[in-house]
Amino acid sequence: MAGLYPIAPRGDASPRVSSAEGRGRFITLEGGEGAGKSTQLAHLVDWLRGQGIDPVVTREPGGTPAAEQIRGLLLDAAHTGLTVEAELLLMFAARADHLAHCIEPALSAGRWVVCDRFTDATYAYQGGGRGLEQARIAELERFVQRGLQPDLTLILDLPVATGLARAQQRSAPDRFEGEALAFFERVRAAYLEIAERSTDRVCLIHADQGEAAVAAEIRVCLAERLLAGL
């Protein structure tokens, strides 16, 4: 799936300007390990293109050359001594560069943006999983994002044990995938809390269905939430 995330060069995040008038739409996909985000993101992008929308596809952490380097540091299982505070600051450092050189330019040019993870992941992993105070995360969110929020967030939810069993079939675990079961239970609980309090922005997707059924549920959400007025 590596080719799904073309890295935006600095200062040139959106070379193809959409013909749509006004600001683009920002869609994020969230979920725990093994939820099928990459698979469903590919289906979503193909479906949007079938509707005449050619989105910018990106990911977090990452999406720009500098942010991808930070991603490598964050995911490297060798960095076992990285503090929770350092991890949080690195996440937002990558996000600041990603916003400045990829997401914001694309949205301003009228492009839709589909992003694999965004700030909800920080509340789930660093907040729920690591136990950092939400107020600390919110302070950095206000500083870096200046009010920017996704137009729609799709949270793919499934039992933790099911997701981890799927994830174990992939490559060697990264620094997050190697955490204990209790960590991922806290991450899932945090995601469910976000879905419950942000119903205007979030669709909770039942990711323990078959691949086609999950994709269909996502399409219904997109059609009702974002495409109805186009």
DSSP the chain: -GGGSPPPPTT-S--S--SSSS---EEEEEESTTS-HHHHHHHHHHHHHHTT---EEEESS-SSHHHHHHHHHHH-TT-TT--HHHHHHHHHHHHHHHIIIIIHHHHHTT--EEEE--HHHHIIIIIIIT---HHHHHHHHHHHHTT---SEEEEEE--HHHHHHHHTTSSS--TTTTS-HHHHHHHHHHHHHHHHH-TTTEEEEETTS-HHHHHHHHHHHHIIIIITT-
Domains parsed from the chain with CATH numbers: 24-227 (3.40.50.300)
Q: What is the pLDDT of residue 1?
A: 40
17 — pLDDT class (breaks 50, 70, 90):
very low
What does the pLDDT average to over 5-34?
68
Q: What is the pTM assigned to this prediction?
A: 0.89
Least confident of 65-69, 87-91, 158-162: 158-162
Least confident of 15-29, 61-75, 80-94, 205-219: 15-29
Q: What is the pLDDT of residue 101?
A: 98
pLDDT at 89 over 70: yes
What does the pLDDT average to over 160-166?
89
| Better-scored residue on pLDDT, 176 or 196 | 196
